[in-house]
């Protein structure tokens, strides 16, 4: 099969790999669509320590079942259309046994630690597969994975009707978080330097937009979410909280990044700071939200490129053009 291969950091090719076979409890999919995530850029640059090389990346995906292992659970059949939770938890470490598999001591994920879906075919555990409605396209279904991360994030920070939320970062994740928070009754103010993305945020219902937190003046919020991972943005979001506020650090910062937050203010104003790591029992809920129309992803799906253009797709993602860049292997000649 054809696949995008990161041979080593900085070296990316589109070439041939052996066709995958299903594990006894697994399936093989013909990939319909796979989204590019910031994690894929980190893997390409050698900045994601769990990833081995060479590796076929790609963890936001959906496709058609073309092979089923003899002991695969769930009654999946050849021809079923599915979206896939890429999480690979060990099930036996202290975190898994406590119901916190996203913190698994032996954490893995399809496309991050084993070959993923920037390929014509990909193997996956059957239990990770979710059938999708007939009217849902593969491009839409590939957005379930980032939406499931956003669902977990909203569960971590909490939302109450009428609350004012500040969101910093209007990329794919920010725009998904915005819709979830609004669905919970929050009024969302979005900050981003990209005016095209701010227009999307406004179209999706943001009560206000700005290109810098400083432009909001003295306005204060019950809660804030940083979706950038940039220390100055995290500090600005923290500074915009009212007393008793909550800060969700959702964006992925560099491992050695540091922020300057006042511990006195955290104490005196009873500020809560929480993080959110990937997916945790949120994939099914994300699929339901998308299928019901409560969350819209079509305004976010800006680019679809064939598999052969994977290096160009990465460059497009780096440039900040559009919002969600996806690869659709079935469109290759």
Under DSSP, is residue 286 helix (H, G, I), strand (E, B) or coil? helix
pLDDT of residue 333: 38
Asked if the structure places residue 290 within a domain, the reply is no
pLDDT of residue 131: 98
Same domain, 189 and 271: yes
pLDDT of residue 100: 98
Vertex 155, ends 150 and 160: CA angle to 5°?
A: 110
Same domain, 267 and 305: no
Under DSSP, is residue 188 helix (H, G, I), strand (E, B) or coil? strand
By residue count, the chain amounts to 333
Same domain, 220 and 302: no
pLDDT of residue 332: 54
Same domain, 16 and 124: yes
- pTM, entire model: 0.97
Same domain, 162 and 118: no
Asked if the structure places residue 281 within a domain, the reply is no
Give the domain CATH number at 312. 3.90.180.10
pLDDT tens string 170-186: 999 999 999 999 999 99
Same domain, 174 and 206: yes
Q: Cα 329 vs. chain centroid, distance in angstroms?
A: 20
pLDDT tens string 303-323: 999 999 999 999 999 999 899
pLDDT more than 70, % of the chain? 99
Domain count, the chain: 2
Structural domain harbouring 73: 2-132+297-328
Residue 153 pLDDT exceeds 70: yes
Residue 215 pLDDT exceeds 70: yes
Query: What is the per-residue burial (b if ≥16 Cβ within 10 Å, else e) of 267-299?
Result: eeeebebeebebbbbbbeebbebbbeeebbbee
Residue 331 pLDDT exceeds 90: no
CA–CA distances in Å: residue 78 to residues 27, 62, 142, 278: 9, 14, 19, 29
Radius of gyration of the chain from its Cα atoms, rounded to whole angstroms: 20
Asked if the structure places residue 137 within a domain, the reply is no
- Among 105, 125, 123, smallest CA distance to 50 is for 105
Segment 179-203 mean pLDDT: 98
Same domain, 312 and 261: no
């Amino acid at each position: 099969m054809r696949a995008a291969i990161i041979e080593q950091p900085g070296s990316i090719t589109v070439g041939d790999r052996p066709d995958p076979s299903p594990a006894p409890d697994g399936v093989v999919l013909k990939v319909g669509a796979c989204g590019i995530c910031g994690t894929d850029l980190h893997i390409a640059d050698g900045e994601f320590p769990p990833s081995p090389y060479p590796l076929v990346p790609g963890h936001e995906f959906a496709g058609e079942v073309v092979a089923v292992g003899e002991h695969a659970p769930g009654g999946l059949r050849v021809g079923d259309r599915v979206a896939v939770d890429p999480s690979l938890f060990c099930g036996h470490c202290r975190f898994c046994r406590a119901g916190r598999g996203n913190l698994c001591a032996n954490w893995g994920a399809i496309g991050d630690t084993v070959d993923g879906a920037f390929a014509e075919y990909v193997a996956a555990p059957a239990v990770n597969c979710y059938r999708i409605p007939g009217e849902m396209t593969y491009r839409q279904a590939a957005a379930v994975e980032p939406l499931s991360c956003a669902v977990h994030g909203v569960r971590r920070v909490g939302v109450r009707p009428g609350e004012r939320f500040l969101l910093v970062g209007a990329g794919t994740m920010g725009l998904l978080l915005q819709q979830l928070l609004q669905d919970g009754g929050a009024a969302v103010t979005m900050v981003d330097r990209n005016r095209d993305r701010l227009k999307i945020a406004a179209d999706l219902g943001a009560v206000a937009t700005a290109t810098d937190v400083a432009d909001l003046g003295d306005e204060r919020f019950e809660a804030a979410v940083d979706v950038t991972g940039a220390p100055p943005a995290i500090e600005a979001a923290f500074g915009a909280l009212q007393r008793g506020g909550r800060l969700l650090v959702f964006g992925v910062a560099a491992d050695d990044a540091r922020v300057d937050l006042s511990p006195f203010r955290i104490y005196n104003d009873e500020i809560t700071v929480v993080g959110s790591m990937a997916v945790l029992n949120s994939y099914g809920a994300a699929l339901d939200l998308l299928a019901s129309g409560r969350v819209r992803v079509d305004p976010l799906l800006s680019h679809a490129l064939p598999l052969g253009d994977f290096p160009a797709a990465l460059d497009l993602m780096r440039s900040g053009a559009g919002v969600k860049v996806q690869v659709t292997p079935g469109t290759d000649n």
